[in-house]
Amino acid sequence: MTAMTTPQVDLAAMDAAAGEAADVLKALSNPQRLRLLCALLPGERCVGDLEEALGASQSYVSGQLARLRAEGFVACDRDGRTIRYRLADPRIGPILERLYEVFCPDAAPA
């Protein structure tokens, strides 16, 4: 058995970033929002694709996307009547990837 090493944490640096980190974690604390962000990890998707992936109604998905958009975590592009969503915050992808590694270690990569 190997000893686990604990990384050194600069508390002064964390003090400066704690509020921002808490805001990101708050957005990820809702299981459906977390799944929604995970569904966007591979790339852009339209609302209909996200509804199907989550098994949720259009109004629910749209509401969650509006919240994530207001927080700057996702962005959208309109092409006629189709709106495609994507991750907008570059911090979110690595966080989701790490969560996937920790909580889904036996799952095949997407």
Distances (CA, A) of 83 to 41, 50, 91: 17, 11, 23
Mean pLDDT of 55-61: 94
Kindly list the structural domains of the chain, giving each domain's residue range(s) and its CATH number in brackets, ordered by start: 27-103 (1.10.10.10)
pLDDT score, position 12: 80
Structure-block tokens of residue 74: 């996702």
Backbone angles phi, psi at 45, to 5 degrees: -145, 150
Print the SS3 string covering 62-106. Answer: HHHHHHHHHCCCEEEEEECCEEEEEECCCCHHHHHHHHHHHHCCC
pLDDT of 8? 82
Mean pLDDT for all residues in the chain: 89
How much is the pLDDT for 108?
53
0.85 surpassed by pTM: no
Tell me the β-bridge partners of 45.
85
Judge whether 86 and 49 are in contact, CB under 8 Å: no
